[in-house]
Amino acid sequence: MAQSVLQALSRAAARSGRESVVVLEEDLAAADAASGSRTRTHKAIQELEAAGRLRQVRRGLYVIASLTGVIDVTLLSLIDIVTPRPYLVTAGRALALAGLTDQFFRETVVLVPSKRSDLAWRGERARYARVPASRIWGGTHARVRDSQRLWVAGRSRAILDSIAHPEWGVTLAQVTQALDAAVSDNRAFSADLAKTALRYGNASAARRLGFLLSRLYPHEPEVAAPLLPLRGDSNAMTPLLIGGSDDGPTDPIWRVRENIEFQRLADHRTGG
């Protein structure tokens, strides 16, 4: 009976476009038809869990393992399956998917318009950050499985989220490296970054990014120039490192206080 229930669950999941991922709320009816009753279905699921054929992610959500125990479902795949639209994967994981960092982020930040419980799977975690629906934009599709397309922040949006929200797990040095990589690939990136920053509406983030670009490309002022109109009207100095010291030299153009030495942020250029 357990094998029949597993086959029914597997077929139901495949029909819904989520190969090997069982959502009991949607798939139980098919399993009941195979077992003959809800009680038998639950007993079969317990047996399948004990045998290692079903791995629970959280209540009502399972992943099917092969006979040899192989599991090909990733956290990103699960995020796309269980997270209602609109959503946006951003910050470190988005930077990695865009090829702007070689760091591995075990926590994936997902922007959503309503409160959701975090999702943990195989040593990784999806952290849901609630924002207004109007703030979920700037994404692009990334393939996570043949039938799935994850909605991920584009390069500009991921960099802006990372520098504006250090609590989302990307250090300022990692932002600097990602920014440098994006501009190295294409000098026109800074113009696209400025367009995104205009919509983002965070003058402090624009100041920090402009300052970093002016230091990364001191002999190419046109690289940082698109961000100049986005500095805002305040004359108060913006700390380069959020939560850092109140000391440090100031840049009068970008109105940024260098409260962390720039060279510490650019060690990626020297292999430091």
Report which secondary-structure segment, H or E, holds 19: none
Complete DSSP assignment for 201-265 = T-HHHHHHHHHHHHHHSTT-HHHHGGGGGGS-S--SPEESSTT--S-S-EETTTTEE--S-HHHH
Residue 164 lies in a domain: no
Last residue of a domain, one of 64, 88, 106: 64
- Tens digit of pLDDT for each residue in 190-213? 999 999 999 999 999 999 999 999
Q: What's the CA gap between 16 and 39, in Å, rounded?
A: 24
| b/e sequence 174-207, b meaning 16+ C-beta within 10 Å | bbbbbbbbbbeeeeebbbebbebbeebebbbbbb
Q: What's the CA gap between 266 and 174, in Å, rounded?
A: 9
175 with 262, same domain: the answer is yes
203 with 237, same domain: the answer is yes
Give the residue numbers spanning the domain of 100: 75-158
pLDDT at 103 over 70: yes
- Tens digit of pLDDT for each residue in 25-84? 999 999 999 999 999 999 999 999 999 999 999 999 999 998 888 998 999 999 999 999
Taking a C-beta distance cutoff of 8 angstroms, is the pair 207, 139 a contact?
A: no
187 with 149, same domain: the answer is no
Residue 166 lies in a domain: no
Number of domains in the chain: 3
Q: Across the chain, what does the average pLDDT equal?
A: 95
84 with 41, same domain: the answer is no
Report CA Rg, the chain: 23
Residue 144 lies in a domain: yes
What residue has token string 């393939």? 143
Last residue of a domain, one of 118, 133, 158: 158
195 with 260, same domain: the answer is yes
